[in-house]
A = this chain, B = another copy of it.
Amino acid sequence: MPVYAAPVKDASFVLFDMINIEKYANLPGFADASPDLVRSVLDEAAKFVEGVLQPLNRTGDIVGCVRNADATVTTPPGFKDAYDKFCEGGWGTLSADPEYGGQGLPHMLASVFEEFAISANMSFSLYPFLTQGAVAAMMAVGSDEQKRKYIPNMVSGRWTGTMNLTEPHCGTDLGLLRTRAEPQEDGTYKITGTKIFISAGEHDLAENIIHLVLAKRAGAPDNVKGISLFIVPKVLVNEDGSLGARNAVSCGSIEHKMGLHGNATCVMNYDGATGYLIGEAEKGLNAMFIMMNAARLGVGLQGLGVSEVAYQNAVAYAKDRVQGKAIDRSTPADVRADPIIVHPDVRRMLMDMRCFNEGARALTLWGALQVDLAHRAATEEERQKADDLISLLTPVIKGVLTDKGYENATWAQQCLGGHGYVEEWGMSQFVRDARIAQIYEGTNGVQAMDLVGRKLPKDGGKLIRGYFETLQGFLAEAKADARLKDFVGPLEKGLGDLQGATMWLMQNAFANPNNAGAAAYAYMNLLGLVSLGHMWTWMAQSAYAKLDQGAEDKAFYETKLLTGRYYMNRHMPDTHGWRAKVEAGAELMMAMPADAF
């Protein structure tokens, strides 16, 4: 049975010692997030995910979701009860708007909880977290009436939400979509079409499901400029808020997937279902991107969350399994075999996972702070700066963290040898679950193109220049502390590679857009390495500060420094290879005629 202990201490280190949440007490909601409250929320969160969600994770994989003959879907045993506890605990309300039943706490705090919940049970976590994505879109573009009608019940968890984009013939290229919206005399629409890969499209956890559906209104342009967004409730909601008639939307089948079995991925059939336009007509994609951006940060957390739980299980096995003697003969000679954690190659895998997890946690929380700042900071300038930063980093957090999440789940499985390949140990599930995060909410190739094709050129390169300034400012300060030289040196070198690669793109991508496409994935990885290097240098600075203050738990901070040094020493040199791939250009990649493949 896999183990999991929520990394409360590590998350607290990022929140308090590194980012210093108390510095932001002037922001709305942050004053309520006193150190005591945050600590107690994290402790309760740990108890909840460890005690309620994690024990259901294997069952979810083995039993999966079942679509019944009447098109209802039964979630795995225990999920309904756990969902009720989730709602009772108010876990979906943490950072939601108090006007709609939320607690208004920092998004940063909700992100910590989200990571924990994903580690414990990724399949389960999707039900409430997709609801939050739907709420984000509705908050952004919905009318007051729509917000009042739907959001309080979605925040409380009484109802869940979905996003319906993909159709059998289109996913990335939504301009091709065929779902139609016929206007009715009463101002509503009849929605007709088939959507696929709809996570949590049908289930038995909540009394209603609010589908957000992309469709084209009759007469609208048959391309991306003709897409509108509609609210299509599974059960229609009466004026007084009570539930009315069942809407003409149903689950046609559920997908048989590689993993994520506990989450129902549905084919959804809309047969003239009643839908309500939300936001401006023909501007549906804008609203969907709001949802998508929030969701992409959540998917990045999935990469981290699975990597963390997989790592913990690899550690447990590596300490327990005895096999072979330490090659440096440092262990007692009369013991026949040592725990495999003594072997350097096992250490390599564990340290690689560990240094990524801690770096990625810092990055996701720093990213979450930008989301908070973009919404809550006092001045437009501060809000814009934060928005620029998180816009730039969103594809990196989604793309790099999920690629590494899968890779790390694979390494963790590798630590168990043959036992890792056998389903009983649960390591295979981590790999199979982690895999989807590289694909959905825009494949990681799409993330890379979003970064290079959209975010880099935006406003004449303002986003990346802002990022460089942030890093240069940080480096100038960090350099003052000679103890940080093992951090500052590699970070400067990595930043140099990133700047060189950026320059190359500026000079070569306008003339030949294929150069942007060919470089995109490498550039995303390069930016990811540097961002994690930035996080580690910052964490090291914070750890030294705590040691200087005579912190009690010296070992904790020293371990932090060691893990960081390992990252800077082993992983930062990879910026060289990624930069070479950026600068290799598109020519050889694109030269072959398609039929030669």
Q: How far is the CA of A324 from the CA of B343 in the complex (A)?
A: 49
Taken residue by residue from 360 to 373, chain A's Cβ proximity to chain B (1 for < 8 Å, 0 otherwise) reads as 00000000000000
CB-CB contacts below 8 Å: A313-359 with B: 315, 318-319, 323-324, 327-328, 336-337, 339, 341-351, 354
Q: Tell me if A328 and B584 are in contact (CB < 8 A).
A: no
| Contact of A171 with B by CB under 8 A | yes
A183 proximity list for chain B (CB < 8 A)? none
Of the candidates B196, B327, B417, B573, the one whose C-beta lies within 8 Å of that of A171 is B417
| Contact of A393 with B by CB under 8 A | no
Q: Tell me if B435 and A421 are in contact (CB < 8 A).
A: yes
A443 proximity list for chain B (CB < 8 A)? 414, 417
Which size bracket describes the interface of A in this complex?
35 or more
| Contact of A410 with B by CB under 8 A | yes
Q: How far is the CA of A559 from the CA of B596 in the complex (A)?
A: 7
Q: Which residues of A contact B (CB under 8 A)?
A: 166, 170-173, 175-176, 196-197, 223, 255-259, 315, 318-319, 323-324, 327-328, 336-337, 339, 341-351, 354, 406, 410, 413-414, 417-418, 420-424, 428, 431-432, 435-436, 438-440, 443-445, 448-449, 453, 512-514, 516-518, 520-521, 555, 559, 562-563, 565-566, 569-570, 573-574, 576-577, 580-581, 584, 586, 588-592, 594, 596-597
Of the candidates B413, B439, B453, B577, the one whose C-beta lies within 8 Å of that of A418 is B439
A516 proximity list for chain B (CB < 8 A)? 327, 344
Q: Tell me if A453 and B327 are in contact (CB < 8 A).
A: yes
Q: How many Å from the CB of A509 to the closest CB on chain B?
A: 10
Q: How far is the CA of A337 from the CA of B347 in the complex (A)?
A: 48
Asked whether A445 and B581 contact (CB < 8 A) given A258-B421, A589-B566, the answer is: no
Q: Tell me if B594 and A445 are in contact (CB < 8 A).
A: no
Q: Tell me if B255 and A422 are in contact (CB < 8 A).
A: yes
Q: How far is the CA of A513 from the CA of B329 in the complex (A)?
A: 9
A417 proximity list for chain B (CB < 8 A)? 171-172, 439, 443
A327 proximity list for chain B (CB < 8 A)? 453, 513-514, 516-517
Q: How many Å from the CB of A440 to the closest CB on chain B?
A: 7
Q: How far is the CA of A322 from the CA of B310 in the complex (A)?
A: 37
A594 proximity list for chain B (CB < 8 A)? 319, 339, 341-342
Q: How many Å from the CB of A186 to the closest CB on chain B?
A: 34
Q: How far is the CA of A420 from the CA of B315 in the complex (A)?
A: 31
Q: How far is the CA of A348 from the CA of B590 in the complex (A)?
A: 9
Q: What residue of chain B has the Cβ atom nearest to residue A520's Cβ?
A: B345
Q: Tell me if A431 and B258 are in contact (CB < 8 A).
A: yes
Q: Told that A256-B424, A343-B445, A354-B597 touch, could you supply 5 new A-B pairs with CB distance under 8 A?
A: A197-B418, A347-B518, A563-B592, A566-B589, A570-B584
Q: What residue of chain B has the Cβ atom nearest to residue A516's Cβ?
A: B327
Of the candidates B257, B346, B592, the one whose C-beta lies within 8 Å of that of A421 is B257
Q: How many Å from the CB of A486 to the closest CB on chain B?
A: 9
Of the candidates B166, B257, B323, B345, the one whose C-beta lies within 8 Å of that of A423 is B257
Q: What residue of chain B has the Cβ atom nearest to residue A519's Cβ?
A: B344
Q: How many Å from the CB of A565 to the closest CB on chain B?
A: 5
A428 proximity list for chain B (CB < 8 A)? 257-258
The 9 closest A-B pairs by CB, nearest first: A344-B517, A573-B580, A345-B445, A258-B428, A173-B323, A344-B518, A327-B513, A566-B588, A173-B324
Q: Tell me if A421 and B436 are in contact (CB < 8 A).
A: yes
Q: How far is the CA of A569 from the CA of B589 in the complex (A)?
A: 10
Q: How many Å from the CB of A543 to the closest CB on chain B?
A: 14
Q: How far is the CA of A73 from the CA of B596 in the complex (A)?
A: 44
Q: Tell me if A256 and B344 are in contact (CB < 8 A).
A: no
- Ordered by A's residue number, 19 sampled pairs between the chains whose C-beta atoms are within 8 Å are A172-B323, A173-B323, A259-B421, A318-B597, A327-B514, A327-B516, A328-B513, A339-B594, A341-B594, A341-B597, A344-B590, A345-B517, A348-B518, A351-B592, A414-B443, A421-B435, A563-B592, A566-B589, A570-B588
A175 proximity list for chain B (CB < 8 A)? 336-337
Q: What residue of chain B has the Cβ atom nearest to residue A555's Cβ?
A: B596
Q: Tell me if B351 and A517 are in contact (CB < 8 A).
A: no
Q: How many Å from the CB of A96 to the closest CB on chain B?
A: 29
